[in-house]
Amino acid sequence: MKILITPGVGEIEEKKSKFIAHLKSVSTEEEAVRFFEEIKKQYWDAKHNCTAYVIGKDASLTRCSDDGEPSQTAGKPMLNVLLHSEVRNVACVVTRYFGGVLLGTGGLIKAYSDAVTDALSKSTIGEETEGWDIPFTVDYVSYGKIKYEFEKLSYEITDAVFGENITASVKVPKDEKDRILKILTDVTKGGAVIGEIKECSILSVLSIE
């Protein structure tokens, strides 16, 4: 599932109207509504604050609002951009300062869509996948070799505690568990002590095309 790590702010101008898009990571409808109210208070003097959100891995909860714009010219286009990006658990507000020139249906749809797209392009997006958290304890000589092998596979050792031996853990995708256990066994010649392996989520940074 793609999620928002660091939200960006999008801003475009169309025929003297300014469109400002704010994004926020949310996990519930209540969080989305609170975010919308915060932005509306911040931009209280704007003519429109249009909203959209997508919640759930399968986009099971979606809502949008045109906030006074012609029907389906603001909230729906915003929602479509979010759905197309495949980012989930995200809320968006696009604030419009009216510039005195009517944009028409097509112009509004494009402007609201472009504002959200701009905000996404300025955001850091991550992807959550299912994986395993594998804790292990090894001696100092083996630790260096294991770290080297894991770095070749782009896996980072975390939570390292240095005592008489080294206790640490590594998070890997579901289908990599056997390979990692083999490395731990082979490098230490069976001396690695493997802790309780638990399911976890792995977050990797992506870019929006």
For 122-147, how does the pLDDT look when each residue is reduced to its tens digit (9 = 90+)? 999 998 889 999 999 999 999 999 99
Instruction: Say yes or no to pLDDT of 209 above 50.
Output: no
Percent of the chain with pLDDT over 90: 91
Residue 119 has pLDDT above 90, yes or no: yes
Segment 5-34 shows an average pLDDT of 96
Report the run of H or E that residue 33 belongs to, with start and end: helix 29-42
Long-range contacts of residues 188-196, Cβ cutoff 8 Å, at least 24 apart: 188/138, 188/139, 188/142, 188/146, 191/138, 191/139, 191/142, 192/136, 192/137, 192/138, 192/142, 193/136, 193/137, 193/138, 194/134, 194/135, 194/136, 195/134, 195/135, 195/136, 195/137, 195/167, 195/169, 196/135
Residue whose C-alpha is closest to residue 21's, from 118, 148, 103: 118
Q: Name the E strands within the chain.
A: 2-6, 9-14, 17-25, 48-55, 61-65, 90-97, 124-138, 157-162, 166-173, 193-194, 198-206
Chain centre distance of CA 75: 21
Q: Are 73 and 105 in contact (CB under 8 A)?
A: yes
Instruction: Considering the domain delimited by 2-122, tell me its CATH architecture.
Output: 2-Layer Sandwich (3.30)
Kindly state the tokens that stand for 195: 């802790």
pLDDT tens-digit map of 32-80: 999 999 999 999 999 999 999 999 999 999 999 999 999 999 999 999 9
Closest CA to 52 of 87, 18, 101, 12: 87
User: What is the residue-averaged pLDDT of the chain?
Assistant: 95
Look at residue 22 and tell me whether its pLDDT is greater than 80: yes
Query: CA–CA separation, 77 vs 181, rounded Å?
Result: 48
What is the per-residue pLDDT for 206?
74
**How do the domains of the chain map onto residue ranges?**
2-122, 128-206
CATH number assigned to the domain covering 128-206: 3.30.70.240
Residue 207 confidence (pLDDT) above 80: no
CB 96 within 8 A of CB 63: no
pLDDT tens digits, residue range 97-117? 999 999 999 999 999 999 999
Cβ contact 10:119 at 8 Å: yes
State both tokens at 107. 């112009």
CA–CA gap between residue 36 and residue 146 (Å, rounded): 48
Angle in degrees, 0-180, between the axes of helices 75-85 and 104-121, rounded to the nearest 10: 40
